[in-house]
Amino acid sequence: MSEIILELRGIDKAYNKGAQNQVDVLKGADIAVATGEVVALVAPSGAGKSTLLHIAGLLDLPDAGTVRIAGEDVSGLSDRRRTRIRRQDVGFVYQFHHLLPEFTALENIVLPQLANGVSRKEAELRGLGLLARVGVGERAGHRPAAMSGGEQQRVAFCRALANAPRLLLADEPTGNLDPATADQVFGALMELVRGTGMSAVIATHNLELAARMDRIFRLDNGALVEG
């Protein structure tokens, strides 16, 4: 039986907008993602996809419920321990690449590895390998401004995978690209994910892309519904 890498149980999250206006974003959200599984998260803008991913990735705390990563209950851990787990076990990709503009593509991939205690030589070798796998190896020495949107996002994928996380969380990773480029870039992402055997939760508006994943969940009134 496959190991459960990510498990959310009974997740509630609300935000206060004004003195008496509470918005319930998540209400009893449940999901379990197994090793090597790629799950699509589909919902309209503002429905809570980003909030759910931030909670799953330990960037935000739920008001209620349990978050487990690789079987460990991380809900009540210290900030330091949560940061360590996030750095080692979780990779993030966003709609906008958020690459550091003053650094090259390779340097953007090397930096998170250095922060995780990897030697520069090893970090550069891994970075070059990742760039080659997504078809932008020749752009290793270019800064983001000298790359196309699709190239920038491929580099962002490599950066997210730099520390070999067990779980990838992606928030509309192709939402800022034209349809043809989005399809190519998504294909590169799926090859990386499948090739490493990691698990992934990918939020998308694109139902065609969602259909290429193992399962689809949608947010319905704050709860997760499969199918």
Residues 206-225: tens digit of each pLDDT:
888 889 999 999 988 888 99
Q: What is the DSSP string of 131-154?
A: HHHTT-GGGTT--GGGS-HHHHHH
Contact 36, 157 (CB under 8 A): no
* Tokens 């709860």, residue located: 223
Q: In the numeric block, which tokens belong to residue 51? A: 């909030």
Residue 190 to residue 140: CA distance in whole angstroms: 21
SS3 108: helix
Poorest-pLDDT segment among 42-51, 61-70, 136-145, 165-174: 42-51
Q: What is the largest CA-CA distance in the chain?
A: 55
Local confidence band at 118 (pLDDT 50, 70, 90 cut-offs): very high
Q: How confident is the model at residue 20 (pLDDT cuts 50, 70, 90)?
A: low
Q: How many whole angstroms separate alpha carbon 159 and alpha carbon 97?
A: 10
Q: What is the mean pLDDT of residues 108-112?
A: 95
Q: Please tell me the predicted confidence (pLDDT) of residue 145.
A: 94
pLDDT score for 77: 83
Q: Does residue 1 have a pLDDT over 70? A: no
User: How high is the pLDDT of residue 214?
Assistant: 93
pLDDT digits (tens, 9 = 90+) for 40-52: 999 877 778 889 9
Q: Identify the pLDDT of residue 53.
A: 93
Domains and CATH numbers, the chain: 38-61+79-226 (3.40.50.300)
- Look at residue 60 and tell me whether its pLDDT is greater than 80: yes
- Beta-bridge mates of residue 41: 203, 217
Confidence class of residue 123 from pLDDT cuts 50, 70 and 90? very high
**Angstrom distance (rounded) from CA 75 to CA 128:** 35
Can you tell me the mean pLDDT for 56-69?
A: 91
pLDDT in tens, 156-172: 989 998 998 999 999 88
